[in-house]
Amino acid sequence: MPIALTPPPMPEVKNLGKANAQPTKRKIICFSDFDGTIFKQDTGHVLFDTHGCGTERREALDEQIKTGERSFRDVSEEMWGSLNVPFEDGFKVMERTLEIDPDFQRFHQYCLENNIPFNVISAGLKPVLRKVLDKWLGEEASSRIDIVANDAHISEDGSEWKPIWRHDTELGHDKARSITEARREAEQECAGEDAVPLIVFIGDGVSDLPAAREADVLFARRGLRLEEYCRQHGIPYVPFDTFADIQREIERIRREDERRTGGKGRPAFFNPRANLWRRMSSQTAVPRYVVMSPTKEEQTIAWSEAINSLKATTDAAQAAQTQSQSPVSAAAAAQEHAVPHHVQSAA
């Protein structure tokens, strides 16, 4: 009989804001992509190229996502379905291939020491990611990291790998929704403290954009597609080469926030644009300029279904909102939209 190799259920997003170290004055929550960010390679690609559809077919399928011919979820199901290898045998290939960021373990220890919850948020499969973290970090350290990703059913003989999608969308896992839920829960926990939590996101690719736009501080791995996209579209971000760069910047941000706000109210590096986009569409947070002129990547990865559904209604909603505002409030809204949300612009 087939068995599910999914580990015991991990805490839901609402529990991601908890850790067991001495508290900081401002609550900071870190979310990080996994493939290409914590590890230099993509766990799925390693498996597909070796035990599945192969490199050539996998690259052709990736292109179908980029052109919009097929959804990310549809293509991913074909890729995972192409595998025919027992879980442990597949993991041996990852052991030989994967390289972890050289400063990640030190950064994770810094998060624990400063009560900064660190969470992996991924479009991959939770059992695969957990096994990798257990191997590279050790089970005790790995257990301190919550993984927000898709579950999986994997047969004992490895003939069936089937994702169990976290969300019923074309992406399978809506990272933006997961971060929004975590932000909302953290804000409720901080309500009596008159403090708004600071949300940090760390990523490397365009598929990270939905989550990145929900963060107050965005770190983009230097030289990869997320940084390129941020520069092209004027999205504020902080480049990094290793997690040591991230640790130094977060420590600087913590100190600056304490100096400027005393840990009360909104963070010094609060992202007002995330809130503005959520008001435009509570379900998708699509900025108007994207709705009116989406790129192929935005159509197929960043917002997919939202582009078509919002294009016809955005102008009407914006016109109604502007008409209902006084000249003063309209100007204030325009000014809020123009404020950069943290330390470095894309210039």
Q: Which residues are catalytic?
A: 33, 35
Q: Which two tokens stand for residue 168?
A: 């019923």
Query: Are 152 and 125 in contact, with CB atoms under 8 Å apart?
Result: yes
Residue 237 burial (CB count, 10 A): 24
Give the whole-angstrom CA distance, residue 199 versus residue 213: 11
Query: Are 128 and 147 in contact, with CB atoms under 8 Å apart?
Result: no
Q: Which two tokens stand for residue 296?
A: 């192929």
Please, which residues bridge with residue 147 across strands?
120
Alpha helix ranges (H) inside the chain: 43-51, 55-67, 72-81, 87-97, 104-113, 126-137, 139-142, 175-189, 209-212, 225-233, 243-261, 272-280, 288-292, 296-297, 305-311, 314-324, 327-338
Nearest in space to 250 (alpha carbons), one of 18, 28, 22? 28
Residue 328 burial (CB count, 10 A): 8
Q: What are phi and psi of 303, to 5 degrees?
A: -135, -10
Query: Are 164 and 5 in contact, with CB atoms under 8 Å apart?
Result: no
Element (H, E) at 40: none
Q: What are phi and psi of 22, to 5 degrees?
A: -70, 135
The sign of the dihedral angle between the CA atoms of 258, 259, 262, 266 is: negative
The region, left, alpha or beta by phi > 0 then psi within -120 to 50, assigned to residue 54 is left
